[in-house]
Amino acid sequence: MHITQLNRECLLHLFSFLDKNSRKSLAKTCHKLQEVFQDPLLWSLLNFHSPAELKKDNFLLGPALKYLSICWYSERVKVCNVEDWMKNTFQKDFCNRHENTVSGFLLEVCNRCPNLLSLTLSGCGHVTDDCISVLLRKCPKLKTLKLENCVRITDQTLEAVTLYGGSLQTLHVDFCRNITQTGLESVREKRPSVRVSAERSANMIPDSKPEKKNPLEKASRKSVQL
């Protein structure tokens, strides 16, 4: 029997064992397999391992998406986690490209995946509070939100959880250095049903941009030292 003689249910089952690239390659062989590739039922779960994967055309975003994971463990994560005011020009350009890619992708998710149940972001140094806030509003069924080592996430995200996370059951903000104990206590007080994990977050050193010294202040200090 040729593969195209299988019914739709069997083909979907076979496609489910393939990674995104393999699905795309198989879909190019004939119209019937292309139709299977475009079936929303095939795309209820998506896993990505780098921002570059978000720009490929080997997957579909739609209302069927329930589980989304973007976990970036590359050495380049270290560059993205450096405070903005400490980056050189090359690093800023590098990070700007990733920021636009990730934020643009999450905006697409907000607009096209209202039935999302679970989101995991790890090592995504460019994800902002605003992105998560919009996602919580646009995806009201979200039950699990796991953020790990996302340096731009602050207490604003925790506040958004209390305001818009009506369906949320599990919240992880592990190794997010700009989360505070005050923000965590607010979530526990206002959303007691949410299981909160914040490993190391409130105990890490938060970002703090060095204050620019007034030239007159510097001069006065120098004169005092002399």
For 184-208, the pLDDT digits (tens) are: 999 999 999 999 999 988 776 666 6
How many domains is the chain partitioned into structurally?
2
- Average pLDDT estimate for 39-45: 95
CATH value at residue 25: 1.20.1280
Residues 82 and 138 in one domain: yes
Question: Hey, what are 27's tokens?
Answer: 């879909």
* Residue 78: per-residue pLDDT: 59
144 pLDDT exceeds 90? yes
Residues 23 and 99 in one domain: no
Residues 26 and 119 in one domain: no
Exposure string over 199-208, b if 16+ CB within 10 A, otherwise e: eebbeeeebe
Q: Determine, yes or no, domain membership for 113.
A: yes
Residues 150 and 164 in one domain: yes
Exposure string over 152-164, b if 16+ CB within 10 A, otherwise e: bbbbbbbbbbbeb
For residue 118, the cross-strand partners are 67, 144
* Residue 41: per-residue pLDDT: 92
Please identify, among 9, 24, 42, the residue that sits at the C-terminal boundary of a domain: 42
Q: pLDDT band for position 124 (50/70/90)? A: confident
Q: Which domain holds residue 26?
A: 1-42
Average pLDDT, the chain: 85
Q: pLDDT band for position 220 (50/70/90)? A: very low
Task: Give the pTM.
Answer: 0.81
Residues 18 and 47 in one domain: no
pLDDT tens column, 7-28: 999 999 999 999 999 999 999 9
223 pLDDT exceeds 50? no
Q: Are 114 and 139 spatial neighbours (Cβ–Cβ below 8 Å)?
A: yes
Residues 36 and 87 in one domain: no
